[in-house]
Amino acid sequence: MKDEKQLLSKVTKRLDALSKLPMAKEDKELESLLNQKGIERRDFMKWAGAMTAALALPASFTPLTARAAEVASRLPVIWLHMAECTGCSESLLRAEDPSIDSIIFDTINLEYHETIMAAAGYQAEHNLENAIKKHNGNYILMVEGGIPTIEHYLTIGAEGRTGAQTCREAAQGAAAIFAIGTCSSFGGVQAAHPNPTSAAPLSKIISKPIINVPGCPPSEKNIVGNVLYFVMFGTLPALDAFNRPKWAYGHRIHDLCERRGHFDAGEFVQHFGDENAQKGYCLYKVGCKGPYTFNNCSKLRFNSHTSWPIQAGHGCIGCSEPNFWDTMSPFEEPLSNKLYQTAYNGLGADKTADTVGTVILAATAIGIAAHAVVSSMTKSKTEE
């Protein structure tokens, strides 16, 4: 209790100091943007309550989460694009019916973002240099995309600087660094076998602490939540072994899944479109990788929080895990099938990235597959 009070007063002081910082002239206050979109204060506070719970903070922090959202506009953000599909930016910025998260993102002082800025060519390069100089030591750096390490891929600007150089320069004066999306966090599709550009995650390019926010794309709440955490505490949240914030990636998809009861009861979709699919049964046998994937998709959902992959009827493909393109595919078959194939081909004889990844997942896969088989046998016995 005493600790909670101390923390509340520390965060209040930090927010007071931040609120005194000037805003960029063209930026609007969050309140006016919410009014403009017809979002009432009551709904905003409800959102703040949900975000506080998502961040695993006590409910007493709700007013501070709301204030953090209001002062987030004072923190300059530099957002770099490397090799990627821009899906991460798109998911956040192009919501048809913008959620409170995307409106907050609208208020953030985006000093540099190649997708949405008007500048191009020399002027864009100049803007980046200026933003780095002007906000030295104070800005948040967000990097989207994997970083090719073979020099002639992804060169930027007149002098042919590489993406990796740009990342290193921008990282030097950053107060916090976020790798946005699976490509930036772990290499993603850019680094999938045979990885022709030798794409690497941001953590292999720069040697400062990085918060990984994986997902292909990550949910908007996971991006905005981390910004708010930094606004409130000025530190990194607790991270897991892959530098993902535990508040967002601390649980398995399988453990938060609305179809879990069907898994435990041995009720499985056997083929897409079958009767069991219509009944909303478990998607394990059509390839769901929820048992091996850590993320909070079922709680936060996508498209203004309306749905998520498993609700829509497709299994999780493990998009927030390292090397998921190689280790989790084929996406519509259970991982245990791949394990058996790998075993027949001689486990350990050929240590490619795929094989090693599969071996790491093997123990879990055997356990899960055995459980699935036993429960579906029990189920068919009961049905008889």
Instruction: Return the residues of window 296-335 that contact ligand F3S according to CB under 6 A.
Output: 297, 308-310, 316-320
The residue within the footprint of ligand FSX, chosen from 39, 110, 170, 216 (CB under 6 A), is 216
Long-range contacts of 10-15 (CB under 8 A, 24+ apart): 11/61, 11/64, 11/232, 11/233, 12/64, 14/232, 14/233, 14/234, 15/64, 15/67, 15/68, 15/71, 15/231, 15/232
Sign of CA dihedral 262, 268, 271, 275: negative
How far is 343 from 335, CA to CA, in rounded Å? 12
Q: Out of 81, 221, 254, 338, point to the residue binding ligand SF4 (CB under 6 A).
A: 254
List the beta bridge partners of residue 211. 178
In this structure, the dihedral spanned by the alpha carbons of residues 372, 374, 380 and 381, taken in order and rounded to 10 degrees, is -160
Residue 177 has phi, psi (to 5 degrees) of -125, 125
**Binding span for ligand FSX by CB under 6 A among 80-88, 112-120, 229-237, 307-315:** 80-88
Q: Report how far residue 89's alpha carbon sits from residue 99's, in angstroms, rounded to the nearest whole number.
A: 14
Q: How many helices (H) and strands (E) does the chain have?
A: 18, 9
Q: How far is the CB of 185 from ligand FSX (least distance, A)?
A: 8
Q: Which is nearer to ligand SF4, 181 or 315 (CB)?
A: 315
Please give the span between the terminal C-alpha atoms of the chain, in angstroms, as a whole number: 56
Q: Find the part of the chain contacting ligand SF4 (CB under 6 A) among 35-43, 198-206, 278-286, 337-345.
A: 278-286
Q: Determine how many CB atoms are found less than 10 A away from the CB of residue 35.
A: 12
Binding at 263: pick from ligand SF4, ligand FSX, ligand F3S, none (beta carbon under 5-8 Å per type): ligand SF4
**Residue of 181, 187, 318, 334 interacting with ligand FSX (CB under 6 A):** 181
Q: Is 146 in the site for ligand F3S (CB under 6 A)?
A: no
- Give which of ligand SF4, ligand F3S, ligand FSX, none residue 84 binds (C-beta under 5 to 8 Å, depending on kind): ligand FSX
Of 141, 199, 310, 328, the residue at the interface with ligand SF4 (CB under 6 A) is 310
Chain centre to alpha carbon of residue 38: 28
Residues engaged in binding ligand SF4 (CB under 6 A): 253-254, 257, 259-260, 263, 282-284, 288, 290-291, 310, 315-316
Residues engaged in binding ligand F3S (CB under 6 A): 215, 253, 293, 295, 297, 308-310, 316-320
Residues engaged in binding ligand FSX (CB under 6 A): 84-88, 144-145, 181-183, 188-189, 216-217
